[in-house]
Amino acid sequence: MAMTGTFHGKGWYKTWQRWYISLAVVIDDLGKIVFITTHAELAPVTFRYKVEAIDYIVKKTPEELQNRIIEILNVIGERQHLNSEVKRQYTFKVGSKMRSIALDNIIYFESLSQPHKVAIITTNGHYQFYESLKAIEKSHEEFIRVHKSFIANIMMIESVNQKEKIITFKNGLTCDLSVARAKEVRKRLEEMSIRP
């Protein structure tokens, strides 16, 4: 998207306005937008174009500009931290209550004899709830199917005994490893630089 041609007066201003707002629309999906300008009257234009800017700063003094930028960077950092915390949990329903467990505390999931009933084994205990192992496996990259009845948190694996087909976790618990899944488990552990 390039601005070309010769522009004078209001024509230049209108073209400039459309070009920068159009650019912001493209960037909006890629990151955080902060408009810094001397034209306070352009703020409403960003709403017309549905640009989700985190702030609109009208330049006044260099000190004020610096303070506003620092404030915005702090807000962005806090939001990213909160978002990463939410993503690092697994949420499920037990009865009528929703529970969230930090991924760091999840050891493995085991299918139970009742259809779609699963046990989640954590460092603090275990829970039973209804879900398919397939859905659990897809929910976080740390979860890997190691057996038709087990999904392990790959970050909690201490060792893999391929001869006996047993996975040992960091807390000493174990689960079965299927012959069909052994190669994929070893590959994922190597990719993540975790020694099996």
Residues found in the chain: 196
Residues 6 or more apart whose CB falls under 8 angstroms from that of 186 comprise: 160, 162, 196
Mean pLDDT of the chain: 81
CATH 3.40.50.2300 domain locations along the chain:
9-87
DSSP letters along 66-109, please?
HHHHHHHHHHHHHHHHHHHHHHTEEEEEETTEEEEEEGGGEEEE
CATH fold, domain 89-191, is: OB fold (Dihydrolipoamide Acetyltransferase, E2P) (2.40.50)
CATH fold, domain 9-87, is: Rossmann fold (3.40.50)
CATH 2.40.50.1020 domain locations along the chain:
89-191
pTM over 0.75: no
Taking the C-alpha atoms of 78, 79, 84 and 90 in order, what is their torsion angle to the nearest 10 degrees? 120
| Residue range 36-61, pLDDT digits in tens | 777 777 777 766 766 677 777 888 88
pLDDT for residue 84 is more than 50: yes
Is the Cβ–Cβ distance between 101 and 120 less than 8 Å?
yes
pLDDT for residue 93 is more than 60: yes
